[in-house]
Structure 1
């Protein structure tokens, strides 16, 4: 089955005979009493019922519907239900900070807000004026809101079709350096150009009918809506949905249904890594790991590849953006992860997607092309480029260079066609690659869950080392920094002390301000 319409996606999969069984680590927030095991026909019925409830709340074709809730796959089911009515869903992370949430809601001006009672109270504390003409709470009744369970689900609405180039959905960027941008995608860009490309059973890496997929993602992010279209089309035997990254909570579900394919946020891979060292670990059958959003540091990659008992497991690393979808791919094996230059392998992003993506490197100031092998600003061309930024057309235009799109990343286009990532342009520091330094520190500090290098207002950069208990042996640090550029004494934090985006990325500017009193230098 080829994905064609997000509003009828689950119906189409059920009609095609998909036998996929979905298992959740907790019930859906839109169906809290319906258990954790779902078939595709049951999911299709749930999407239809959800669309009927949204219609009963007053949602109509052309409306924007803001979806702001705790992390779960039903973020995408709600989005599909809104699309079915001809509305445009805007999925917002519950981890947005107060200022970012207020700004995005003001830009969206949604006709309806679907949320929880706690998040609704938070929104009302931060947003001046009405949030939306209609507010729907999923968990409990709240003043001035309609309880989701009280809406009529008995009157199914026929799907509303839209042109392939009309707005389909809105997703926000990660927002590591400030207020996220609202990215508008169409059916053509998200479904036809992205999901259909992935929904192909390629030899060795394609998803087959006997696979069990485990997914630990940010379900309000554009990647997971595309992923939903792909997996419903490919119809694997099973899907395991993880809404959090607590290893003790994830372990029983993964052990009961061992995956053969895993896709997770880089932060989730880090948090779940202790499971790889357990006897009879739940990743023993995995043949393919998939990572997107951000690079995974080599020690983490190595631990997962070693945990598989398959003879030749693969790690597929994708690089892309909310605005563009995947731009490059590369594969890692046990052998490449153990190579002498392994600490730089994850920054080698592979080659542009053949026939879909073109890439060039230019001088950041003049935008003139630079020779192969020299660093510069990465520009790309892709038919999957989004329609624009909602409410910020000038900001969108500023990232265009003719037919090319500025990624904001600094890198090198090598003579063999591959691409290496050096840094985000906003994180660049004179004479030092933050990403490479972070890789090397993690390589040399086995106890580190994550390392971050921040620019400081004065003097050397400030390294931040994240450990399980917030402690770091001083002698281990002295050995780790040998041969590296000068760094300050590290700030040592626990995972929960680090401010993060909805996709688990470190909010560098916020962290820098917290630790140094000033934003990270750029």
Structure 2
């Protein structure tokens, strides 16, 4: 089965007898009494019920529905409910600041805001009124919040018949990670995110394809477009079990993972970092995994190695994807126990080759946009049929990143003679003296106690290294040994994980961290294509 209409996806899978068992680490926010174990028919009923709730709140075909709530897979269930009504869901991470959310909601101009009492209260304490841009607000977990609808106001409303839409009409709005400021809204159509992306994932490829016997673990940020695409494909692939993890706390995650040991994992890079202590346990929860998948951000070699070693599968694979919300995956690269660390061969910054048939890449001079010779760094342009429609509310910004059929990714990379792409940095972070990402890889190799290494550019003087450790401390002698042979760096700053500003996907907000540490709002590059 291949996905198409997200409004009836769960119904179609239930009608076909898909028997996937879904296990959650906590109940859905839209079904707090529903427990943590679900079947596909039960999920289909929940989507229909949610569509009735949205209709009772006034949503009609063509409207926009903004969803801002605590992280959980019901982001996508609500989105499917909105699609069923012919509306366009806009999934916004509650991890964003109140000001950023208010800005994005003003651009969305939704007919309905679906949110939680905690999200509204956090925004109110930051002097942001999230309800102002929408015609109505539905609070999914509380009745009686002034000026809003609650569950009691919409319960029991029968959902209308599904509404069909053109494959080229807006289907869903997501946003970019927002590492450099307010994220960009990104609108996709059925043709781009389902036809070009989700359908290609529904093939049972040898070794890396999802099997009917698999237990899939997804530890993600469910407000982002990646999980909307994943929802379409995983329902159609019908694995034996799906495990949804909303926490990155290893102590809270461990019981669920031990109860349902995964064979296929997709997780945020930050989730891999935070859950890494579980790989060191004698009977670790990742012992059966044959494929680990990552996207969104760089994953450094020690993390990759820890999971591949933890697996007892004969030949586990780490599947590294590189792409953007605007384009979907552009390249794939696979790591094994012998290739993961970059100790020989191209290393983890080599992102592999463009996706065959679907994607083309070109590396150009950032000033002239003329192609540069293979082996020289430049700005990466991409051409793909999966490119999104626009940046809602920032159409001029979207147009500025298009060069005919080519899309400006804003990444600096080297196109190797073998066709592979070696990523150096985001252009906004790039320094002529070094690659921040490669330097971070080396530092993490040499400093095993570091949870994460971050090299910041933009301030006066050499790049500033930030080391994230469990206790926020760093041994001076170990540091001196670690930087031997590297380009000049400023004196390091040691922080704990919670000291570092992050996006909803766990990416470091580098410009915010630089300002936090130095008071400087600077960038290593121009920042023209963020």
Q: What TM-score bracket applies, with the shorter chain setting the length? A: over 0.9
Contact residue 123 and residue 131 of structure 1 kept, 8 A: no
The count of corresponding residues between Structure 1 and Structure 2 is 521
Q: Secondary structure at the match of 2:320?
A: strand
**2:394 matched to which residue of 1?**
392
Matched residue of 2:517: which SS?
helix
In structure 2, C-alpha distance between the alignment counterparts of 1:255 and 1:126, rounded to whole Å: 41
Note if 1:6 corresponds to 2:9.
no
Does structure 1 residue 55 correspond to structure 2 residue 72? Answer: no
CA apart distance, 1:119? 1.4
Give the aligned partner of residue 336 of structure 2: 333
**Mean CA deviation greater in 91-100 or 18-27:** 91-100
SS at match of 1:487: coil
Partners of 1:429 and 1:521 within 8 A in 2:
no
TM-score by length of 1: 0.98
* 1:152-191 equivalent positions in 2, closer than 5 A: 152-191=155-194
1:428 corresponds in structure 2 to: 430
Q: What residue number does 1:268 align with?
A: 271
Q: Does 1:287 align with 2:287?
A: no
- The alignment's TM-score, normalised by the length of structure 2, stands at 0.97
| Alignment check: 8 A CA contact 2:21 2:240 kept | yes
> 1 CA distance for matches of 2:103 and 2:436?
30
- Quote the residue 1:211 is aligned against: 214
Structure 2 residue matching 1:345: 3-state secondary structure: coil
Structure 1 position 75 matched with structure 2 position 75: yes
The 1:285–1:475 alpha-carbon spacing in structure 2 relative to 1, beyond 3 Å, is same
Unaligned runs of 5+ in 2: 525-530
Structure 2 equivalent of residue 277 of structure 1:
280
- Report if aligned partners of 1:48, 1:157 keep a CA contact under 8 Å in 2: no
Give the C-alpha shift of residue 129 in structure 1. 7.8
Structure 1, unpaired ranges of 5+: none
Equivalent-residue separation in structure 1 for 2:185 and 2:196 (angstroms): 20
Which among 505, 508, 519 is matched to residue 506 of structure 1?
Answer: 508
Q: Is the 8 Å Cα contact of residues 273 and 300 (structure 1) preserved in structure 2?
A: yes
User: What residue is the counterpart of 2:227 in the other structure?
Assistant: 224
**Misfit runs of 4+, over 6 Å:** none
SS at match of 2:90: strand
Alignment RMSD (CA, Å): 1.2
* Residue in 2 that maps onto 1:89: 89
How big is each residue's C-alpha offset from its partner over 1:315-373, in whole Å with a ceiling of 9 and x where there is no partner?
Answer: 0000000000000001000011255237x621100000000000010000000001111
1:258 aligned residue: 261
Give 1:128 deviation, angstroms: 8.5
* 2:528 equivalent in structure 1: none
Match of 1:389, SS state, is: coil
Equivalent residue in structure 2 for 1:494, among 492, 496, 513: 496
Structure 1 residue 149, shift from structure 2 partner: 4.3
C-alpha deviations, 1:446-479, integer Å up to 9, x for none?
0111111112421111110001111111111111
Question: 1:369-380 to 2 correspondence within 5 Å?
Answer: 369-380=371-382
Hey, what's the Cα distance between the residues in 2 that align with 1:374 and 1:345? Answer: 17
Which residue of structure 2 aligns with residue 41 of structure 1?
41
- Residue aligned with 1:485, SS: coil
User: How many angstroms does 1:156 deviate by?
Assistant: 2.6
* Separation in structure 1 between the aligned mates of residue 515 and residue 341 of structure 2, nearest angstrom: 37
In structure 2, the residue matched to 1:66 is 66
1:417 to 394, 416, 419: 419
Paired residues of 1:170 and 1:183 also in contact (CA < 8 A): yes
Contact 1:456 1:516 survives alignment (8 Å): no
The answer on 1:316 being equivalent to 2:328 is: no
- Between stretches 94-103 and 383-392, larger displacement belongs to 94-103
Alignment of 1:438-457 (within 5 A): 438-457=440-459
